[in-house]
Amino acid sequence: MVPSVENWAAFGSAIGCFALLWSSLPEHALRDARDLITSWSPVLASYFNPYEKITISEYSDDEKFRKNKLFDVVATYLRSKCMEGTGKLKAELSNEDEDTHLSLDEHQEVVDNSFHGYRMRWYLGKTSKYSNANIVIGNDEDTETRHYRLVFHKRHRPFVLNSYLPDIIQQGRELIAKNRRRRLFTNAERGNYFWIHIPWKHPATFDTLAMDPGKKNELIEDLEMFQKGKDYHSRVGKAWKRGYLLYGPPGTGKSSLISAMAHFLGYDVYDLDLTSVTSNHGLRKLFLDTAEKSIIVIEDIHAIEDELTTRSKRKKETNGDELQQLRLRYEKEKVTLSGLLNLIDGLWSSFGGERIFVLTTNHFDRLDPALIRQGRMDMHIEMSYCRFDAFKVFAKNYLNIDGHPLFVEIQQLLDGTNMTPAEVAHNLMPRGKRKRNDVDECLERLVETLKKPNLETGAPRKSPIERPTRQKRARWGNMC
């Protein structure tokens, strides 16, 4: 219905009367009327507007320089889920993994439909970082900050607060952990002990690892159980940690396995150089400084153990004179095997959750029983010479083949020979520029090498795999 001229005239005169009345009000009445309207306006607005908003700013409100972690979590979630159908995207090269990342461009909206048909509208906006500040230093770019705004219908409020937000935060966090570039830490000392790190670039994963398939699957399942075991560990009152002892000759893939574990779990690796730590106190500090979701590695534990045992023997041999007392005091400060074990398994082992210890050795038989007693290292993993199953992984990865007429001969040779995976890998690498017949050439070279005596020892490749003897197994219990 079109309003008539009379209606418009009546409406105009009503407005005129209201304006006249308003201007004739005394100052205090004007103020009261203004306050009344201001206090009622949100109520009126919310009555007529069925939507609610949640804003997630890029920077914390209290500390303008501290990034709000939730902003990145939401950005990561949205990047993974709902970029389809969005008109304007932004591309950038990530510092973390140097991959191109697409994200929502400013002032763009995206709808997340992935939760049982609920329509969750996200908008990326920009505001001034110093909107409340009096003095602004720097150019405009520096002073602007972004925010995500979630818009949803009022009736979906319980769903958003109780299900949607917690769920997307968890998904976003998991994605960040998965995509995060792993770091390799090593300990250093300058008056005090601390960790320094570089990006973890070891490329070995479980796919590239040549290892008995049964053992590999068992380990993967064990790692999966560990990762999901937070509730289990707190229920049974155990520190959330796990210990693996990797043993086997050099070049059988112990370091490669650690890399595969780190990639699989998404953990950082702390490579502890125990020889440069001179006190139990320092060792404790280093352990306490490691982050959750990490693998703490102590390589060649047999050598370190020899050193620690010698130190403690020296300690016992000292007699009472003053010089000896001084030495004793000094020695007391030093790292001891029991100090180390206490951190792995004793009172101090609960210094933080979700940590994995990996000890490696080329000489299982030289380890102190205290170090490998039942329950201390949860799994003992033998990294052995290359057998046919492991060779097939190399053939696939290095030569991209699943079969070849030489496979039968190679299987026989590998079964009767002790060649390390490192040597097999070395032989399967194409040499020179020639590309044709690389496969034949590599396999023939491998066969030739397998028939030759061991390069290092000169002995025919027949020696038995280094295994603990039966007596030693009995001494260590049925751990292996």
Ligand X SMILES: Nc1ncnc2c1ncn2[C@@H]1O[C@H](COP(=O)(O)OP(=O)(O)OP(=O)(O)O)[C@@H](O)[C@H]1O
Amino acid (1-letter code) at residue 24: S
Compute the distance between CA of residue 298 and CA of residue 272 in angstroms, rounded to an integer. Answer: 5
Closest CB to ligand X among 79 and 461?
A: 461
Compute the distance between CA of residue 172 and CA of residue 56 in angstroms, rounded to an integer. Answer: 14
Number of Cβ within a 10 Å radius of residue 421: 24
* Per-residue binding letters, 210-229, with ligand X (x by CB under 6 A): xx------------------
Residues 6+ apart with CB under 8 A from 393: 208, 209, 210, 211
Residue of 422, 439, 479, 480 that binds ligand X (CB under 6 A): 422
Return the ∠ at Cα 43 (arms to 39 and 44), rounded to 5°. Answer: 105
Closest CB to ligand X among 421 and 468?
A: 421
Q: Which of 205, 214, 475 is nearest to 364 (CA)?
A: 475
378-397 binders of ligand X (CB under 6 A):
383
Residue of 251, 282, 339, 468 that binds ligand X (CB under 6 A): 251
402-421 binders of ligand X (CB under 6 A):
421
Closest CB to ligand X among 251 and 282?
A: 251
User: Of the listed pieces 64-72, 167-175, 231-239, 254-262, which binds ligand X according to CB under 6 A?
Assistant: 254-262
* Residues contacting ligand X: total by CB under 6 A: 16
149-208 binders of ligand X (CB under 6 A):
208
Q: Are strands 294-298 and 268-271 parallel, antiparallel or unpaired?
A: parallel
443 touches ligand X by CB under 6 A: no
Compute the distance between CA of residue 455 and CA of residue 217 in angstroms, rounded to an integer. Answer: 32
209 touches ligand X by CB under 6 A: yes
241 touches ligand X by CB under 6 A: no
Please identify the residue of the shown chain whose CB is closest to the bound ligand X.
Answer: 253
Q: How far is the CB of 187 from ligand X (least distance, A)?
A: 18
Three-state DSSP state, 86: coil
Q: Is 197 exposed, middle or buried (0-12, 13-18, 19+ CB in 10 A)?
A: middle
Q: Which residues of 204-220 are buried (b: 16+ CB within 10 A; e: fewer)?
A: bebebbbbeeebbeebe
Residue of 253, 282, 339, 468 that binds ligand X (CB under 6 A): 253
Closest CB to ligand X among 204 and 344?
A: 204
Q: Which residues of 125-148 are buried (b: 16+ CB within 10 A; e: fewer)?
A: eeeebbeeeeeeeeeeeebebbbb
362 touches ligand X by CB under 6 A: yes
Q: How far is the CB of 390 from ligand X (least distance, A)?
A: 6
Residue of 184, 296, 425, 428 that binds ligand X (CB under 6 A): 425
Residue of 57, 256, 384, 417 that binds ligand X (CB under 6 A): 256
Three-state DSSP state, 97: coil
Interface ranges with ligand X (CB under 6 A): 208-211, 250-256, 362, 383, 421-422, 425
